Structure 1
Amino acid sequence: MASTSKKTIVRVFEGFAGYGGASFAMKRLNKKSKKLRFEVVGYSEICQSAIDLYNANHKSCNHKSPLKNWGDITKIDVSELPNFDMFTGGFPCQPFSSAGSRLGELDPRGTLFAEIIRICKVKKPKYIFLENVVGLSRGKCKPTFENILRIFKEIGYDIQTTILNSKDYGVPQTRQRLWFFGVRQDLGGLPNNFSMTPEKVEMTEFIEDYLDANPAEDLYKSQRQVDHVKEVHNKPADYFHVQERLCYDYYNRKIRTDRVCMTITPPNHNVVRIVEPPVNGQDRFRKLSIDEHFRLMGFKINEKEREIIYPDNQTYIQLGERAGNGWEINVVTILLDHIFKQL
């Protein structure tokens, strides 16, 4: 970690990068912090649509060239990696997610988590900052979670965890995620009285404020399709006759009257819908637009500002998948700010 007369620089390697949720959050912090600057020195990602989205939005520190993608994390020669101060990433959650089989792995060294350990044992970054689904810490997966904490301790890290929900930090989405942060023990570990949980932020805007003013017509379902949903979900004919735009939780078969969206997921899970006041007696029931996906992931997208750029070649499915599998950057910004103010 380099120090200048103005700012301390934290060099970051972003594993399992996706669209670069950590990078987006760190850009925000770089603009507001007078003492700290994050610089990403490289990333690892294998999904081409994620790589294209990452490269469209993140450049090297000189802003002239793309950051190096080290590709498949299992094939990285650790000796070739540049030095860095923090490893960050959301390691694959499928074994632990309620949307998957949730079988977990009793020994996490049998999963891609092992690659984090392999890299950190050699590079010995000062900090580790990771994310996963809440299911990793509960039920059948809890032994895996406990093994992960034990392994971090074995390789010399003092780790704490927390579970944060986006709706508790200003974004109207119910999105709980498990966060890990650790400091090397030989550098003193975490400070006394260290807290992993930031103070909650009151929500002042709700889902209506995050939706497009004029959504594209191809997002809407036909009345016949809506009638089929009502039939399958056993709803009365006027069930979708709402007074304001709200989220319909397809998974739990109910309108969210709390004015908050359910968890954003990849489009193939087919669970997030928007229900709007009827027009000429016809139900208005639709998918989220791509901008709406990313607004609910914490991005500022309006007439004055666009915090994320979409590559021209990406489809609705590809971009929706990236959003559903990504980090909600508002909560990441708040968490990283909270953490580094204590260090």
Structure 2
Amino acid sequence: MKAIGLFAGVGGIELGFEQNGFDIIWANEIDEKASVTYKLNHDHQLVTEDINNIDSKTIPDIDVLLAGFPCQAFSVAGYRKGFEDERGNLFFQVARVLRDKRPSIVFLENVKNLVGHDGGNTFRVILETLNQYGYFVKHKVLNASEYGNVPQNRERIYIVGFLDEHAYKNFKFPDPIPLTKTLNDVIDFDSKVDDKYYYTKEKYKFYDQLQEAIVRKDTLYQWRRVYVRENKSNLCPTLTANMGTGGHNVPLLLSKYGIRKLTPRECFLLQGFPEDFILPNDMAQSHLYKQAGNSVVVPVVSRIAKNIYEAVSDIEKEKYIIA
């Protein structure tokens, strides 16, 4: 099945689908830095452009549309007049492509808070729009630590729609799986990394408080403006796009060589990216942290993609048996 990705970032969703036999043929991403990382790891066409400026006629015909679109408020009154009144909102760019290309399957990923955003209006309009275009939709909030065997507390909502009602009925979200990976599997607590990752008394005025509170070598901590929070669950807290700024909530750890923050590579590993995923050598660290924080947990997407593939494959088998 041929698929395209919108708001592709560095291609985490696309990677999860590629791992399950889908053929990604085209993608779109507005951020030039993320596009550099994307192109290092994918060999299909990536268009670096604002989706508002892309004519649907230039997008290939497809079976599957993938999108991790940003969550934005929009006017319900405007929506009732037709989504052209809301053309600045990025979900309606997804809707436009669905309307024009008519893929048989749509996969959307977003923050958990999408469900309650704007009193539930945002999510309701999204579901109504998908229904109006003929999609039968299932959605579920999944945590990376429970569904991806990744030691990160990261809840996201996944929305899957099918034009074929039988495929929709065949599809189910994956079941929880045991968490066997630990922080030690993805974070190197014993090796020396570049000095720029370490916190010191000279660089941080609250270093004494860090030194007093950060005492264990098997968990992560966060500086929360005025105190240090220990993550007792032995999971990484939800990675964010602003981890490179050095502000509060940045995950911290005690290594053999001192207190430090995660490296960009460790952040990508905590998102379930493979160890051979290529990160640009000449890119500012802040961009790499942003790319990791904005991305998806690849193993969760991969498990959903596998179930989508099997739901559609079963339909094809049924047609063959009937024939």
Q: Same fold (TM over 0.5)?
A: yes
Q: Which residue of 1 aligns with 2:221?
A: 248
Runs (4+) of structure 1 exceeding 6 A deviation are: none
CA–CA separation in structure 2 for the residues paired with 1:321 and 1:73: 20
Equivalent position of 2:134 in the other structure:
156
**Which whole-Å deviations, capped at 9, do the CAs of 1:239-291 have from their partners, x for residues lacking one?**
2222x232113348411122110011122364222221677xxxx32111011
Question: 1:58 aligned to 2:42?
Answer: yes
**In the alignment, what sits opposite 2:57?**
79
Give the unaligned 5+ runs of structure 1: 1-9, 30-36, 61-66, 96-103
1:4 alignment partner in structure 2: none
In structure 2, C-alpha distance between the alignment counterparts of 1:25 and 1:239, rounded to whole Å:
38
Q: Distance in 2 between matches of 1:219 and 1:329?
A: 25
SS at match of 1:299: coil
In structure 1, the partner of 2:293 is 324
One-letter code of the match for 1:43? Answer: A
Mapped contact 1:70–1:76 kept (Cα < 8 A): no
> Which residue of the other structure, out of 146, 150, 169, is the alignment partner of 2:124?
146
Question: What TM-score comes out, normalization by structure 2 length?
Answer: 0.84
Bigger fraction of residues in helix: 2
Q: Find the residue that maps to 1:321 and give its secondary structure.
A: helix
TM-score with structure 1 setting the length = 0.79
- Give the whole-Å Cα distance in 1 for the aligned partners of 2:10 and 2:208: 36
User: Equivalent residue of 1:223, what SS?
Assistant: coil
Is 1:127 paired with 2:105? yes
Alignment partner of 2:172 out of 191, 195, 198 = 195
Please give the alpha-carbon distance, in whole angstroms, between the structure 2 residues aligned to 1:105 and 1:122. Answer: 22
Residue 319 of structure 2: aligned partner: none
Deviation at 1:192, TM superposition (A): 2.8
Question: CA shift at 1:204, angstroms?
Answer: 1.2
Instruction: Letter of the 1:288 partner, please give it.
Output: L
- Whether contact under 8 Å (1:86, 1:129) holds in the other structure is yes
Q: Is this contact kept in 2: 1:182–1:190, CA < 8 A?
A: no
| Number of corresponding residues | 295
What is the CA RMSD across the aligned residues, in angstroms?
A: 2.2
The one-letter code of the counterpart of 1:50 is: A
Question: C-alpha distance in 2, partners of 1:58/1:311?
Answer: 14
For 1:240-279, list aligned pairs within 5 A: 240-242=214-216, 244-251=217-224, 253-266=228-241, 267=243, 268=245, 270-276=248-254
Secondary structure at 1:293 match in 2: helix
Cα 1:220–1:145 change in 2 (3 A) is same
- How far residue 332 of structure 1 moved from its aligned partner, in angstroms, is 0.8
Hey, what does 1:3 align to over in structure 2? none
1:19 aligns with 2:30: no
Alignment-derived partner of residue 29 in structure 2 = 45
| Secondary structure at 1:300 match in 2 | coil
Higher relative contact order, structure no. (Cα contacts within 8 Å, ≥ 6 residues apart)? 2
